[in-house]
Every structure is written in structure tokens, then in C-alpha cells.
Amino acid sequence: MNRRPARRRTAVAVTATAVLAAGTFALGAGVAGADPGSKGGKHAQPVTETQVLGLFEQWNAALRTGDPEKVADLYAKDAVLLPTVSDQVRTDRAGIVDYFEHFLRNEPAGTKVESVVNVLDRDTVIDTGVYEFELTDHDTGEKSAVKARYTYAYEKQPNGRWLIVNHHSSKMPQG
């Protein structure tokens, strides 16, 4: 009995299996790296940490206007807001505007203390950390500071604008 044909068949089978596995891996890697749903376009540049941090500055500037509609304009239509000084979850524009109508009476001015930015993809980023707000009581004029943890999840819209899709803020626990 001649063993060469059996060894040749085995070698061909092993080679074919290796080629198939390599092709499957390459295809999977290509798909995993692809971002066909990217709203930023085929050649969009990835967002930088500096740009993400600027989104907070934009939000903080909207607070300083005192206009709850301008603040709400920075949130996506279906955004979720878990606010610092309210126990209500806000899941639509009306609820977000309502929260800021009350919050803005205290003339909030925010300062970030610590920030960690995670770029998930070209269209989704998360900014998490600690911020502090100086508030002014609208009845007495007395100033106070509130330190809070925050998370902003931003999503890039088809027009290239970044909007808040999820915002969670909670007072720091007493140590």
C-alpha cells in the first residue's frame, strides 16, 4: 500500500482548513473594524478628548444663559436625564426642560474636578467624572457648592452635531 496519497490528502485537507480559517478570521476582523453605521461619514476623523471636554463647556455655557430650552437643545430627542437635585427620571424634552426651569433658578456654574473620557467609536463617547456646582439660592442669595459624580453619553448626529443621549448626575456621598 502506498502512503503518499494518504499523506498528500491529509496535507491538502490541513492546508485547506488553514486557508479557510485564515479567511474567516480576516473577514471577521474586517467586519469588526468596519463602522458602516457611522454618522460621521466614511472619512470622519475620530473625536479627541479635548473636543469631548468642550461639549461640557458648551453645556455649561447653555446653563449660564438661564434658558432651559437652550440647555434642552443639547439633549437628543430620546435622551435620559437622571439629575442631581431631583428624584424624577427625565425621558423626554418636556421633562428635561422642566428640570432645568427649576435648576437654573439657582444660577448654576459648573467646574469639572476630574474627568475620564472613553471614545467608544467615531459617533459615541462617554465622559465620566466629578464636577462641582456653585449655586445661588434664588430666595436668599446665599451661595453653596454641590459636588457630584457625572456621566454624559454623547452621540454624533447625522448633521455632525454631538448631543447628550444619557446624563446621570448624583451628589457625592458623604465621607
pLDDT by residue (tens digit) across 117-168? Answer: 999 999 999 999 999 999 999 899 999 999 999 999 999 999 999 999 999 9
| Same structural domain, 165 and 119 | yes
Same domain, 55 and 2: no
* Rounded CA separation 63/103 (Å): 9
Would you say residue 44 lies in a domain? Answer: no
Residue 85, H or E segment: none
- The letter for the amino acid at 88 is Q
**CA–CA distance, 166 with 158 (Å, rounded to integer):** 18
Give tens-digit pLDDT for 39-51: 555 556 789 999 9
Residues forming a β-bridge with 163: 155
Domain residues for the domain of 11 are 1-34
Whether residue 59 sits in one domain with residue 26:
no
Task: Give the neighbor-by-neighbor strand order of the sheet with 109-121.
Answer: 75-82, 162-171, 143-156, 124-136, 109-121
| Number of domains comprising the chain | 2
Report the SS3 class of residue 8: helix
63 shares its domain with 130: yes
> What CATH number did the domain enclosing 66 receive?
3.10.450.50
Looking at the domain assignment, is residue 39 inside a domain?
no
What are 77's three cell numbers?
430627542
Q: Are residues 55 and 29 in the same domain?
A: no
